[in-house]
Structure 1
Amino acid sequence: MSDLIVQDTKVSCYHCGNDCNEQDIVVSDKHFCCNGCLTVFEILEDNQLCGYYDLNQNAGVSLKAKSFKGKFDYLNEKSVVNEILDYEDEGLAKVIFHIPSIHCSSCVWLLENFHKIRSGVYSSRLNFVKKELAIDFDPKEVNLKEIVELLATLGYEPNINLDSSTKKKKIDPETHRLLLKIGVVGFCSGNIMLLSFPEYFSLNLENVVDAGYQRFFLYLNFLLAIPVFLYGAEDYLKGAYRSIKEKISDKSSVLSVDIPIAMGVVALFVRSTYETFIPHTAGYWDSLAGLVLFLLLGKWVQQTTFSYLSFDRNYKSYFPLAVKMKDDSFKNVKDLKKGDSYVTHHQELVPADSILISGNAWLDYSFVTGESTPVRKHQGDLIYAGGRQMSEQISLEVIKPVSTSYLTQLWNNESFIKEKNLKTTALADAFSKYFTIVTITISALAGVYWQLHDPSLVWPTITAVLMVACPCALTLSLPFTMSTTMSIFGKNKFFVKNQQVIPLLTEIDSIVFDKTGTLTESGKEQILFKGTALSTSQKKMIFGLCNASVHPLSKAIAKHLNGVGKVEVDYFFEVKGKGIEGIVNQNNIKIGSADFLDIQDNSPKETKVFVAINGELLGYFSLVAVFRNKWEQLLTTLKSSFNIHLLTGDSDQSKAVLKPYFADNMKFEQKPQQKLDYVRTLKSEGHKVLMVGDGLNDAGALREAQVGIALTEDVQAFSPACDAILDAKEFVNIGKYIDFSKQAIKIVKISFLLSVVYNIMGISWAVTGNLSPVVAAIFMPLSSMSVVLFAVGLTLLLAKTKKMI
């Protein structure tokens, strides 16, 4: 009798994996279910991007019955485009899209290479967690509609909702998805337990009718367990699959902590399926359902707790920024609303999308675009948030409220991110690296032991070990402690950029101070003018020019001349660390150092600001600095634990006063580049450097240091180069913040130890065979929360004892 060969005639689409049962288009031996999938393949092939299919087979999204004709025509309207774009000028536009269909590594790879598909697109950067795609493009070469249509054609249609900013904030999609899973799994779990009652009470099954019902209930439990397994536990199963796949392909050396959880879930499902259909016994369906339910509930509790603890870690806490309104009052930028009129000074950041009302606007958009060449703007022009005014004071009117997320994004611009090697993070990474391997090994050994002694305990023991082992407590203690510390610092007017700053503060061994505006109080200098007596009109011009600058010396002179009257500044230019120049009432004015005015200064050294009008030297302002309250106490305290240094652009008239604290570690008349070089030299010698400056002339040094702290007074100049902003009134507490950071890291290490102790105890209990998988599933999230609450509670208690809350 000849063998009967049955061929599988099922054909899958090369792009999306769907069956080609309605339409089968064959090109180059590849099958496609529709013209849409074929089009995407041809686009990728033409651009040599078919590596998309190497990462994941059938990675694409099905485009069957998709039609985009006319759908995006509204993107031809300029007013609509302006609502969507984050930034636009002649050669560059920036936009961020939310793309819900992103689902795998192939999606990441393709969207990160989107600029290779469409000319005119400069770059594309994907945030996989938030499913956000940031695109920079040339609006002269490609428009927004064309980009959106191409994304939709590729199967990645953006979710564009112009009303989102005005609607009440809804629950985020990830939380909604988690709650939906909890609802589905909770329903299935409750019914499985209800149908398992006969097993719980060991009912007499000799009656044929009862036995028939029992088998029916078993099969029904199996059906109820399918959504629990495939839907409720999908995140753990997918996470484990991706981790193993990356490990095999050498893309990662760390096995995910999802692997032991996924193995436990699979073990319960497979064993229970066998028990149901072979010996027709109850299996572990209730344990599986309860396990997944408690895992999901634990994740939701952790997520909710994290949101509760982190709610004040937004822009309101990060920046004490304020803007000057037209009536000379100040308003926090978070309170700005559409129609408000305010002024922006030289070197200050435009906090909200605004219309230029008056003034000479030259905007540096380097924090937005990376391009530092100033852009000229005229009256009535739109000025985007994030631009730094490089000329004199300008008046603006808000057309969009402040976008807190956008300004936070600017402060965390990748151009200003420093390389950081954190010992604490390294400890967590090392633990996670070996945790999965050790857990799987212990569960396997326990399984072998019980197979030899009591086979009935093999599966319960293996699953219990895999479930009770929990690295979550370890990996959560660091971010929760750091988040709490950031919140405490914020309440004390010390606003750090991110969690990484706190561990870095604990490694500092050298502190470098600026003097003007840092050790000394801005605006409280004793000022005398020496030279030709100034007329009222000259004082007005000098005031107008100095008032446009935010340098501490310029602000001090402007305050000294306040009340003489206002004049319009026609041109303004500032050289950092040297001086300012401008045109007022057709007069050329230069104010600054002797070098800036190109003159010789042989008189006794003091802090001088020279003034020349139309090339004629009129004299100079002599400034005697007033040091901050308790500055000696701070330096005395810090000197006992750190090497302290002084870098200043001022003269050395205060040298004798400062020498007892800084000894020979003082440099006077330093330019911004010299400050940066000094910090760089300290780092090259192996020192961990903290730089404290005013955030303007010290920007280079702040960025070069391991940690840069910008001290701020009444109006803040936004400085992404710094790692933290400190209210000047809290200057004396710098040592206190460093000490608290060290205590916070100790709390993290204690939490690590507590987590390790829990895992040892839990696994020891599990291998005895006395711990059920369901109880293990309950203990795992409870252990995570207990360690987190321990870390957070101890941090808050420490803050209370130090009177920081």
Structure 2
Amino acid sequence: MSDTMQTQVACFHCGEDCNNSPVMMAEKTFCCEGCKLVYEILHQNNLCEYYDLNAQPGVNQRMQVRRDKFAFLEDEKVQQHLIQFKDETQVHVTFYLPQIHCSSCLWLLENLHRLNKGVQRVTVNFSKKEAFIIYDHSATSLRAVAEVLTAIGYEPYISLNDMKEKKPTVQRKMVYQLGVAGFCFGNIMLLSFPEYFSGSGHTDAAMNRMFQFMNLGLSLPVFFYSAQAFYKSAWGGLKHGFLNIDVPIVLAIWVTFIRSLTEVATGNSGYFDSMTGIVFFMLIGRILQEKTYQGLSFDRDYTSYFPIAVSVIKEGNPVPTTLPDIKINDTLLIHHQELIPADGIISRGEALIDYSFVTGEAAPVKKSVGEIVYAGGRQMGGNIEVLTIKEVAQSYLTSLWNRDELKKESDTNTSFVHLLSQYFTWVVLLIAVVTATVWAVKDPARIWPSVTAILIIACPCALLLASSFTNGHILRILSRHKLYLRNAQSIENLANTTHIVFDKTGTLTGKSGTEVRYVGDTLSPMQEMMISSLAAQSTHPLSNAINNYCGNSSSYPVREFKETAGDGISGWIENQYIRMGSAAFVGIDPKEEQDGSVVYIGFNEKPVGLFTVRNGYRPGIRGMLENIRNHYNLSVLSGDNTREAASLRILMGSSATLRFEQKPTDKLDYIIHLRQHGEKVLMIGDGLNDAGALRQSDIGISVAESTNNFTPASDGIIEAQQLSMLPAFIRLCKANKHIVIISFIMSLAYNITGLYFAVQGILSPLVAAILMPASSISIILLTYSMSEIYGKRLSDKGLSANA
């Protein structure tokens, strides 16, 4: 041992040892100039509250970053790979920041605008260690943002070869902690064997004493290293004034360890096997839960929420193509009201893009040939062609669909499971205190085993896991059957439905069995081509039917195309101004009712005739309506005339409400009226004229059929051919709640049974630690098997419905 004792001095910023050359500033010690520089930056910008949230929260800055490291971010080609959206005022980008580790990191990153005035907003995803950043490119640059992040200790990890997300894995450190705990636990069990047989007289006392100290040594890595995951979680909750479910576990570990130290000091063996076993088996349960949650998160990110096809130009013809099959350099034909699924360059036509899905700003942006358009924008003008420069960003579109601005009030409801977990820890601690008090009077020797077992056995982990796992698995089953719900709250809303409202055209009716007739002045071949060209700009089912009737010969460019929701479409072709739509829109006074949906035609403000379109009902719709009309209140909101009222009445039942000639505002007002009268409304529409009604309903589902025109206001997307399975989908969502309740009862029974034995002091803490992950496994197996049984029934229903 040296004569002089070295004193370790921790860096004020990062907590690292300052060695023999500390850097001093303002009576604070830093390990390097880098940490000092970060402190100076934060101090100058009044951001030192960062240090109040956690002790030594910073990231070590000894590794210097070269000055020009991020110069490559000034290259426009590189920026195109990283930037998710860009317009005249803002840029959206997501950086992976592996240094994120505590609440101080979140606070500092979300205050990044105070360090760089060009940054507008930062949203941190702690679990993924990602920061979504919006900045004003006229005030700062991508390089500057990366450099300021690096300057404060959060250097972005940027690898253009690794841009695609990979399935998340369990934290490597937790695996190492499990390995250390397993090694020490196994060896302590072996070294404890002589103690188990000490009463037989065949053991050596000196040898037993040596084994006791060896067990103590093996327990130290478990106590100080392997149990860190529980310490951090518990301490994080306590700092924010919240007792989370890890607090009782930490108490159990500490009580067992301290009691064991006392036993060894008095010549006994202690309970190191129990303490290390608690940590080992609890880590198994924690890793099991983390893998389950991450698996669900991975599926949620990559599930094909946008299964709708978009038209890809192949050999001069538009071919419907599902989004995952779109490749770079494909030419997409984007119609009016369609969502742009991938970043691309406009190669034909003039775009009027609504980026409200991305930015929240509703003002459309004009784009011309050669300009970039981004995924998530909606074309509000006529047809355009877009050459893709990126693959379809389904995970990015999903994040837009799930953004906070689109969440309804009902989405913010807190599950009863999470409400329960808030008070669970207090109840457990109360039971432990009461039990300790009782045994202190009756039998003090039972205080330790009873209290420790209570702290371990009583935990809502299995219940929390059951809720998340069941919801996630039901979402997967629904997506396999082409119903894509926004989130788990949508499952509950669908299950609680009391009134179902249908749009008619494009929802109950489809393309199959469409019959089109023309009545009026004789149309020349050129006029038919003009009508076809105008109709081709719209994705409305009536426009598609007329386009097909006219020979789908849409070869004329359309100027100043405009679609008025609920009324019709108009535009200039050559020197002709053409209107198509309702009588009032075209300027006609209808003298007699026509059979079917009617679309009037006018050239240069002069009416020339009308098309009548009779759409056949989708396969399976009649059976579906017969199934649900005795269980739910039904309504149909249609923009058509009342000609089909009699046949629709037979289909919907005598109690159904039928409303015709409905404008989008009429549909919206009707939904509001139903909800004001206590109805839980499910609205099903085609996403064209129903955006307001879908948004206002408790749950809105958009029907998709070979087009990419669903509305972001919807809570779900259903492929048209699956609409007949609606009753089975609702039953599955109701079953989801039953499965969670059954799991809750099972978990509650487990906790009550465990507590019954624990309070009596007859349940070993080690056995309690083994039962904890075992209960989680049993809950997962139960929820998985029950979900699959209901999912199999759903598949059988689907086969019979489509037969």
TM-score where L is the length of structure 1: 0.91
**Aligned pair 1:361/2:351, yes or no?**
yes
| 2:59 matches 1:71 | no
1:3 alignment counterpart: none
SS of match in other structure, 1:695: coil
Amino acid corresponding to residue 414 of structure 1 in structure 2: D
Q: Using the alignment, how far apart are the partners of 2:490 and 2:412 within structure 1?
A: 10
2:266 is the counterpart of 1:270: no
Q: Is the contact between residue 327 and residue 388 of structure 2 (CA under 8 Å) also seen in structure 1?
A: yes
Q: Any idea what the Cα deviations from partners look like across 1:486-530, whole Å, max 9, x if unmatched?
A: 222223222212111111112221211111111222464322222
Question: How much does 1:136 deviate?
Answer: 0.5
Amino acid at match of 2:155: E
Q: Which amino acid aligns with 2:190?
A: L
Correspondence for 2:14: 16
User: Would the alpha carbon gap of residues 188 and 711 (structure 1) be closer, same or farther in structure 2, given more than 3 Å must change?
Assistant: same
* 1:116 aligned residue: 114
1:758-769 equivalences in 2 (<5 Å): 758-769=750-761
Confirm or deny: 8 A CA contact 1:189 1:293 kept in the other structure: yes
Report the alpha carbon displacement of residue 31 of structure 1 after superposing the two structures with TM.
Answer: 4.8
What is the Cα deviation at residue 312 of structure 1?
Answer: 5.2
Q: CA deviation at 1:151?
A: 1.0
Tell which deviates more after alignment, 115-124 or 765-774.
765-774
User: Which residue in the other structure is 1:321 paired with?
Assistant: 308
Asked whether the 8 Å contact 2:174–2:229 carries over to 1, the reply is no
Taking a change above 3 Å as real, the CA distance of residues 173 and 317 of structure 1, as seen in their structure-2 partners, is closer
The 2-side partners of 1:698 and 1:78 are apart by: 40
- Any conservation in 1 of the 2:512–2:615 contact (CA below 8 Å)? no
CA offsets 1:686-722 (integer angstroms, 9 cap, x no match): 2211111101210111111110011122223242211
Shift of 1:29: 5.1
Check if 1:737 corresponds to 2:729: yes
Preserved CA contact (<8 Å) 2:563 2:570: yes
**Matched residue SS, 2:183:** helix
Q: CA deviation at 1:335?
A: 1.9
* Partner residue in 1 for 2:138: 140
Residues 421 and 321 (structure 1), Cα distance of their counterparts in 2 relative to 1, 3 Å cut: closer
| Structure-2 change in CA distance of 1:157 and 1:310 (3 Å) | closer
1:226 counterpart residue number: 220
C-alpha distance in structure 2 between counterparts of 1:204 and 1:685, whole Å: 78
C-alpha distance in 2 between matches for 1:264 and 1:786: 23
Query: Is 2:398 the counterpart of 1:408?
Result: yes
Deviations 1:140-189 (A, max 9, x none): 210011111111111222222211136xx766353433323222222222
> What is the correspondence of 1:780-791 to structure 2 with a 5 Å cutoff?
780-791=772-783
Q: How do residues 381-530 of structure 1 correspond to structure 2 at under 5 angstroms?
A: 381-420=371-410, 426-522=415-511, 524-530=513-519
Q: Distance in 1 between matches of 2:103 and 2:347?
A: 48
- Tell me if 1:286 matches 2:273: yes
SS at match of 1:329: strand
* Cα pair distance change 1:631/1:173, threshold 3 Å: closer
Q: Give 3-state SS (helix, strand or coil) of 1:770's partner.
A: coil
- CA contact under 8 A between 1:96 and 1:135: conserved in structure 2? yes
Amino acid at match of 1:730: Q
The percentage of aligned residue pairs carrying the same residue is 41
Deviations 1:360-415 (A, max 9, x none): 23322221222232233333333222222222222233322222211211221222
Pair 1:91-2:89 in alignment: yes
Task: Spell out the pairing of 1:96-175 with structure 2 (5 A cutoff).
Answer: 96-165=94-163, 172-175=168-171
Aligned residue-pair number: 787
Residue 243 (structure 1) aligned with residue 241 (structure 2): no
CA contact (8 A) 1:468 1:779 kept: yes
| CA–CA separation in structure 1 for the residues paired with 2:787 and 2:63 | 56
Which amino acid in 1 is paired with 2:136?
A: D
Amino acid in the other structure paired with 1:81: Q
Q: Could you tell which deviates more after superposition, 304-313 or 553-562?
A: 304-313
Counterpart of 1:326 in 2: which secondary structure? Answer: strand
Q: 1:532 to 1:315 in 2, by over 3 A?
A: farther
Matching residue's letter, 2:434: L
Q: Distance in 1 between matches of 2:458 and 2:656?
A: 56
Which stretch of the first structure deviates more once superposed, 457-466 or 289-298? 457-466
Measure, in 1, the Cα distance between the counterparts of 2:210 and 2:227.
Answer: 25
Contact 2:309–2:706 under 8 Å retained in 1: yes
The residue number in structure 2 matching 1:575 is 564
- The answer for the alignment partner of 2:801 in structure 1 is none
Matches of 2:202 and 2:787, distance apart in 1: 62
After superposition, the Cα gap between the structure-2 partners of 1:303 and 1:60, relative to the gap in structure 1 and judged at 3 Å, is closer
1:304-315 aligned at under 5 Å gives the runs 304-305=291-292, 313-315=300-302
Q: Find the counterpart in structure 1 of residue 676 from structure 2.
A: 684
In 1, Cα distance between equivalents of 2:183 and 2:168: 23
Q: Which moved more, 1:765-774 or 1:662-671?
A: 662-671
The alpha-carbon deviation at position 135 of structure 1 amounts to 0.5
Aligned partners of 1:559 and 1:669: how far apart in 2? 25
Gaps of 5+ in 1: 1-7
Q: CA deviation digits over 1:276-305, x for unaligned, max 9?
A: 3x2243212222222211112223334445
Aligned partner of 1:714 among 706, 710, 713: 706
Q: Which residue of 2 aligns with 1:699?
A: 691
- My pick for the range that moved more, 293-302 or 760-769, is 293-302
Could you tell me whether the CA contact under 8 Å between 1:411 and 1:719 is conserved in 2?
A: no
State whether residues 532 and 552 of structure 2, in contact with CA within 8 Å, keep that contact through their aligned partners in structure 1: no
CA 1:444–1:804 in 2, change beyond 3 Å: closer, same or farther? farther
CA offset digits 1:429-448 (Å, max 9, x no partner): 33212321222222233333
Paired with 1:52 and 1:768, the residues of 2 have a C-alpha distance of 47
Q: CA deviation at 1:38?
A: 3.8
**Which residue, out of 767, 776, 788, partners 2:768?**
776
Cα distance in 2 between the residues matched to 1:361 and 1:321:
21
Aligned equivalent of 1:259, options 242, 247, 254 = 247
C-alpha separation between the residues in 2 aligned to 1:672 and 1:43? 54
Cα distance in 2 for residues equivalent to 1:419 and 1:804: 33
Say which SS state the counterpart of residue 86 (structure 1) adopts.
Answer: strand
Question: Which residue of 2 is the match for residue 546 of structure 1?
Answer: 535
CA shift for structure 1 position 216: 4.6
Say whether residues 1:176 and 2:172 are aligned partners: yes
Q: 1:555 aligns with which of 538, 544, 562?
A: 544
Hey, what's the Cα distance between the residues in 1 that align with 2:608 and 2:793?
57
328-337 or 194-203, which deviates more? 194-203
**Is this contact kept in 1: 2:306–2:323, CA < 8 A?**
no
Amino acid of the residue matched to residue 181 of structure 2? Answer: V
What is the CA–CA distance in structure 1 between the aligned matches of 2:751 and 2:496, rounded to whole Å? 30
- Which SS does the other structure have where 2:688 is aligned? coil
Check the 8 A contact 2:212/2:269 in 1, yes or no: yes
SS in 2 for 1:224: helix
Distance 1:520 1:67, change over 3 A: closer
**Which residue does 2:323 correspond to in 1?**
333
The corresponding residue for 1:656 is: 646
Rounded to whole Å, the distance in 2 between the matches of 1:487 and 1:55 is 39
Of 716, 720, 723 in structure 2, the residue corresponding to residue 728 of structure 1 is 720
Whole-angstrom CA distance in 1 between matches of 2:212 and 2:679 = 68
User: Relative to structure 2, which stretch is displaced further, 148-157 or 216-225?
Assistant: 216-225
- Equivalent residues in 2 for 1:618-633 (5 A)? 618-633=608-623
Native 8 Å contact 2:310 2:706 kept in 1 = no
Q: 585-594 vs 448-457, which deviates more? A: 448-457
TM-score by length of 2: 0.91
RMSD: 2.9
Distance 1:37 1:710, change over 3 A: same
Determine the C-alpha separation between the residues in 2 that align with 1:793 and 1:438: 31
Match of residue 5 from structure 1: none
Cα displacement string for residues 520-541 of structure 1 (whole angstroms, at most 9, x for unaligned residues): 2246432222221111111111
User: How has the CA–CA distance of structure 1 residues 688 and 214 changed in structure 2, closer, same or farther, with 3 Å as cutoff?
Assistant: same
Say whether 1:194 aligns with 2:190: yes
Which of 155-164 and 451-460 deviates more?
451-460
